[in-house]
Amino acid sequence: MAGTFAPTKTVWSIDNRTAAFRLCGARTKAVRIECRIGGADINPYLAFAGVLAAGIKGLDLELPLPPPSTGDAYTLACANSIPSTLRDATPVFKSSSMLREAMTAAVVDHYARCAEWEQEEFDRVVTNWEIERGFELA
């Protein structure tokens, strides 16, 4: 969500908390890369496997690394957005040919179906906000 230091764009930067990937400790012995996309509800094993698979694929294909993003990444119109909901993220995950190659279609389909089921269950519930809003409008 913009303004919270949670990344919303698929960019990398040097020591910038608005970027999805952050290079920290540049030019020190403690240099590291942070992947800032996942939340507390992420499956860490699946996420780590996906990040490693993407990195390996990029190296294998010798994909060029774009220049680091500077400034507020939330305002970058030219950068791709990170899906902000499970509903939006599921089809992106499910249609990833890179993940299907790295993890197999069966694994991707299994986790995609888990996400779809989770969304279906969420959609079946009437929230307190919806009840209160309904009474407010009645």
| Regions in the chain scoring below 50 on pLDDT | none
- pLDDT tens by residue, 83-116: 999 999 999 999 999 999 999 999 999 999 999 9
Specify the pLDDT at position 120.
98
Specify the pLDDT at position 61.
97
Helix axes 105-123, 86-94, angle to 10 degrees: 160
CB-based contact 37:1 (threshold 8 Å): no
Find the angle CA(41)-CA(123)-CA(95) to the nearest 5 degrees.
65
CB-based contact 80:10 (threshold 8 Å): yes
Specify the pLDDT at position 138.
67
Specify the pLDDT at position 38.
86
